[in-house]
Structures are given as C-alpha cells and as structure tokens.
A and B are shown apart, each in its own frame.
Chain A
C-alpha cells in the first residue's frame, strides 16, 4: 500500500536558518503530494501541493519539488522565523482513490530567536 516517510523530529533551528524536512513516498501510479502544517492547538492547514512530476509547490517562503525519480518531496525554506514553529506533515493522495490522504508521522519544527 501507499506510505509516506518523513524525518523524525524535533528539528531545532535558530531564526533565519535554512530548513529542510525530508519526505519520501511509496505509491502506485502518480499521486498528488502535499505538505500540511499544524500550529499548536489547531487543525491541519494545507501549506503547498504538487500534482505531477517536476512541479514545484510554494507558499509563505516554503518550497517543495515533486521528484518522481527519487520519490521525494522535501520541504525547504531559506530563512525560518519563530512563527514557523509547528508540526509539518507530508502526505499523498492516490488519484485512483476518493481524496484519501496517506500521511507521514509528522516533523516538529522549533525555531528559537
């Protein structure tokens, strides 16, 4: 079945540092890929998405590129802020299914001033 593997956290960075959170996936066919963010005490929000190979999703300074050859969708940001502290989830949607998402286990990011 489909699966998503992302790096374990917490990831601890100082403000303005470069961020990478690794995500790899296993799926049949050509899934859509997503990064969701969960701020403390809240539900998940879509951060960015990519629907086909070589697509780059971007939002709020975060980027991720759909790499079919390495089955990866790593999340990056050039300069993190304290307000980026949250849990980040990589997820995929198999287009043959009905919107069902398969999530990674989540990576907590802690940014200090």
Chain B
C-alpha cells in the first residue's frame, strides 16, 4: 500500500494564479481532510470529507475549494492564490469504522505564493 500520496511536493505560484493540490489514498478510508501548517500555529483544518460527494468546512476554509468524487481522491483547489496561502499542506485520511480516529498523513506539499 502506498498510503496517502500528495502531489506536487513543492510549488511556487504568483498571486492570482490557481492550482490544484492532489491527494490520494489506497486504504479505502471514508474520511479525508486537508490541513495547513504554519510556523507557531500547529495544523489547522481547511476542509474535510466523510465520503464521496460529502464535504464540509474546517477552521480555515476561505480561499480553498474541495470536492470528493471518489473514495480515493480529495483534491484541494486554490482559486486565486494569495501570499497568505504560503504554507505546507497536509492531506490525511482515516477509517470511520475505527473508534479512536487514527489519521494517516501524506508527506505534504510546500506552497509558496509570491
């Protein structure tokens, strides 16, 4: 199993550009989520999904869109990038059948917006 994979690993954007961060998991997990990690802020939840066709907002959703058309994939879209979105982005997944909610994380995407 590859676990949770993310692409790209690094990305540089100019202000106003759009892009999609890809996330895929091969563990048949129902739950998937996106976090951003900023220095001194820990990880903050952007959006999450509990299954195909179901998404919801987390703590910091503004400027990001998500969709979940399959169990495996959960892409994160930046519609018009801003310097405040410079961050490291992590995708995570977990099985809702497990009571203690262990989440499995991808390796991250480091995004710089100029």
Contact = CB atoms under 8 A, between A and B. Distances in A.
Contact of A32 (B42, B45, B96, B101): B101
Contacts of B103: 46, 99, 101
A22 interface: no
A73 interface: no
Interface residues of A, number: 21
Contacts, number: 61
A42 B107 CA distance: 5
The prevalent SS among residues of B at the interface is strand
A89 B44 CA distance: 12
Contacts of B74: none
16 contacts: A32-B100, A34-B102, A42-B108, A43-B90, A43-B105, A43-B107, A45-B105, A46-B103, A89-B43, A95-B101, A98-B50, A99-B33, A100-B58, A103-B43, A104-B42, A105-B42
Interface of A: 32, 34, 36, 42-46, 49, 51, 89, 93, 95, 98-101, 103-106
Contacts of B96: 98-99
Contacts of A51: 99-100
